[in-house]
Every structure is written in structure tokens, then in C-alpha cells.
């Protein structure tokens, strides 16, 4: 047990409560398999974002106790559906009273208010202490980009793909794309005939997208819109978009318009799994409003991706903001197992016809 548990110490760090051995909190034992009781240390944007994520999850796995404010003035307030249950100087007593087993540290100004000794004491009692960013990532599958400091990315050991991972990923891409083209050849022939019968114009639609290292390339898709659908300029696809043809609507619903992109994979311009590529005009728009946007270009774009399996169709800068959080999570934790999970999830999304426009 830490020195601070022996006797009152007037030199204790700011934010800690000197206590004696008689009133020290008892060690908390948690039965394995039961839901976590989480207390969030902080009331800022990260704390509120994590609170919303935890509240959106099943109560079978997590129980959000509340928020801890820097001082006691905010106690009793409700923020994004979660109550402020105390100040930092009440941290020890609240942990014991509410049988907290996990604390998420979401303080914005840690240098002046972080109760270091108190957290060390709680760690020694068996309490899990999480950095708020990491818990947010684990619970949501996203990166909280609005609360990330540049140093968290610059000095991160992640966001770097080793040569072995890249070699396995490229081998998997070639095997799947070559097999897919052979198997899908009869289906592609039928789709081409239907497109020709439905509306005038080419069967294959070519469009410039932004790929690896922000380099432009030409993507191939089955045409799903009427010819000259963007005479008035590029714009986001909307629900029941009048530019989409009858056959095109079905192609988009079942993601069949994406099949020709297997050729992009073979050519090395795309991967089976990765962030979905955007058009240059939208990339320029999004770079200016979404932090860290260009990090998604450090990997090959994919036919499917983590964002596509976890979020709806993105058709606005706001949707792109959320999808980038998923994309950066993928870039940070890219692995063979994550790719396999995404491919399995993609099959579920396609069979249910989710998120198509």
C-alpha cells in the first residue's frame, strides 16, 4: 500500500485526500464475468463523448456510475444523460460507496488537477485505471479525433504497418480478387446486359478517387446512375436519389456495383479492406473541416472497410467526420484478424442490404 495510507500528509499532491489507515477504503473484489461499474474522471468533451458511448451499449456489460468534476460546484448536474456524482476530492469515498471497479481518466488539464497519488492507491486496491481515449476506442471502435492531441498520433507506436502485415494483406488481396473475378464472371455478364437494357450509356463507370499517399487513381464500378447524372456538379448521394437508375438501385442495395473494383485490387490501387476512397473534390472539402483526415491515406483504400460495417452510408461532411473516426481506428489497429472480421461483417451487411444508397 502506498505511503499516503499511513498518516495524514500535508504535502500530498493537489487533488488527493490525506487519509489514515482506519478510514482507508477496503480493496474491492469483482466477480469475473459481471458487468463493469465505470466512473468517469472529468466532465469535458471526451468525458461526455465516452459517457454517450457507454450509455448506448447494453447495460448487461457496463454500468456507468457517473462523472467526477474538478470541484464540487457541478455536483448534481446532468450532462448528456449522466449525473455528476462528486468532485475530485471525493474520489476515494465514491469508489468505495458505489463499488466502482473501473475509472476512466478524461481530464483535459491533467498537469494541474490529476490526483496522481489517489489513482496509485486505487490501482493498488485492484481498481482498473484507463486512459479515457483508450477506453473510448475499445468501447466504440472509433478514435475520438476531436479530443486527440497531435502528439498522441506523432509518437504513437501504432499507425505503422510492418512488412509482414503488408505482405500477408497483399497476398490475401490477390487471392480473393482473382478468385472473385473468376467466380463472378457469369454474374458480371448478366449485370452488363441488364444495365444496357435499362438505360443508355457505358456498362462500366470510371471515376477519379484519392488513394494511397493521397495519389489519384481511376476506380471502376458498374454504372448505377443515368448518363450525365452530374452535369450540375458533384454532390453527395441522397436517399431515393433520382439520378440512380432502376437496375442501379438494386446494384447498390446488394453492393454488386463494386465488383469491377476487384481489378483495382489486382492492379495494387486498392485493397479488399481499407477506408473507402473519396473523390478529390470531397477530399479537399473534408481536409479543411476534419482533423487528421489525411491519415486515412497512409493505407490503400478498400472495397469494404471498418466504417462501412459499423456505420450507415456516409452522405454528408458530418457523416464523414464519424466515418473517419472508424477509419483511423482501422489504420491504428490494422491486422489480419481485423480484416477477417470486416470481411465477415461485410457479408452480413450485404445480405441485409444495410446502408445502401
At 262-285, the pLDDT tens digits run: 999 999 999 999 999 999 999 999
Please name every residue paired with 222 in a beta bridge, in sequence order, or none if there are none: 204
Q: Is 311 within 8 Å of 326 (Cβ atoms)?
A: yes
Confidence of residue 35 (pLDDT cuts 50, 70, 90): confident
Percent of the chain residues topping a pLDDT of 90? 70
Q: Residues 203-208: what's their mean pLDDT?
A: 96
Question: For 91-111, how does the pLDDT look when each residue is reduced to its tens digit (9 = 90+)?
Answer: 999 999 999 999 999 998 777
CATH class, 3-140 region: alpha beta
303-331 confidence digits (pLDDT tens): 999 999 999 877 788 899 999 999 999 99
Q: Which residue ranges make up each domain of the chain? A: 3-140, 163-228+240-352
Tell me the whole-structure pTM to 2 decimals: 0.85
Amino acid at each position: 500500500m502506498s505511503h499516503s495510507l499511513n498518516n495524514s500528509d500535508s504535502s500530498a499532491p493537489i487533488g488527493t485526500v490525506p487519509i489514515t489507515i482506519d478510514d482507508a477504503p477496503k480493496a474491492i473484489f469483482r466477480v469475473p464475468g459481471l458487468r463493469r461499474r465505470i466512473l468517469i474522471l472529468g466532465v469535458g468533451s471526451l468525458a461526455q463523448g465516452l459517457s454517450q458511448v457507454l450509455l448506448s451499449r447494453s447495460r448487461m456489460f457496463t454500468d456507468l456510475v457517473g462523472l467526477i468534476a474538478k470541484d464540487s460546484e457541478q455536483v448534481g448536474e446532468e450532462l448528456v444523460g449522466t449525473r455528476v456524482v462528486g468532485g475530485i476530492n471525493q474520489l476515494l469515498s465514491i469508489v468505495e460507496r458505489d463499488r466502482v471497479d473501473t475509472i476512466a481518466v478524461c481530464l483535459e488539464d491533467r498537469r494541474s488537477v490529476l490526483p496522481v497519488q489517489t489513482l496509485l492507491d486505487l490501482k493498488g486496491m485492484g481498481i482498473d485505471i484507463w486512459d479515457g481515449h483508450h477506453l473510448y476506442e475499445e468501447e466504440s471502435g472509433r478514435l475520438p479525433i476531436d479530443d486527440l492531441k497531435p502528439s498522441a498520433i506523432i509518437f504513437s507506436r501504432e499507425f505503422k504497418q510492418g512488412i509482414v502485415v503488408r505482405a500477408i494483406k497483399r497476398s490475401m488481396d490477390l487471392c480473393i480478387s482473382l478468385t472473385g473475378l473468376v467466380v463472378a464472371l457469369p454474374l458480371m455478364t448478366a449485370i452488363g446486359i441488364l444495365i444496357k437494357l435499362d438505360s443508355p450509356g457505358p456498362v462500366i463507370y470510371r471515376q477519379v478517387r484519392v488513394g494511397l499517399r493521397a495519389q489519384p487513381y481511376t476506380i471502376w464500378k458498374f454504372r448505377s446512375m443515368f448518363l450525365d447524372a452530374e452535369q450540375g456538379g458533384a454532390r453527395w448521394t441522397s436517399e431515393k436519389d433520382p439520378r440512380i437508375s432502376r437496375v442501379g438501385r438494386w446494384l447498390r442495395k446488394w453492393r454488386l456495383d463494386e465488383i469491377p473494383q476487384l481489378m483495382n485490387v489486382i492492379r495494387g490501387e486498392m485493397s479488399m479492406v481499407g477506408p473507402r476512397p473519396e473523390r478529390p473534390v470531397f477530399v479537399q472539402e473534408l481536409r479543411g473541416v476534419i482533423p487528421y483526415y489525411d491519415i486515412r491515406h497512409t493505407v490503400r483504400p478498400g472495397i469494404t472497410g471498418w466504417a462501412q460495417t459499423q456505420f450507415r452510408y456516409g452522405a454528408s461532411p458530418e457523416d464523414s467526420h464519424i466515418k473517419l473516426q472508424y477509419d483511423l481506428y482501422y489504420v491504428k489497429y490494422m491486422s489480419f484478424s481485423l480484416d477477417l472480421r470486416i470481411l465477415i461483417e461485410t457479408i452480413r451487411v450485404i445480405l441485409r442490404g444495410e446502408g445502401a444508397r
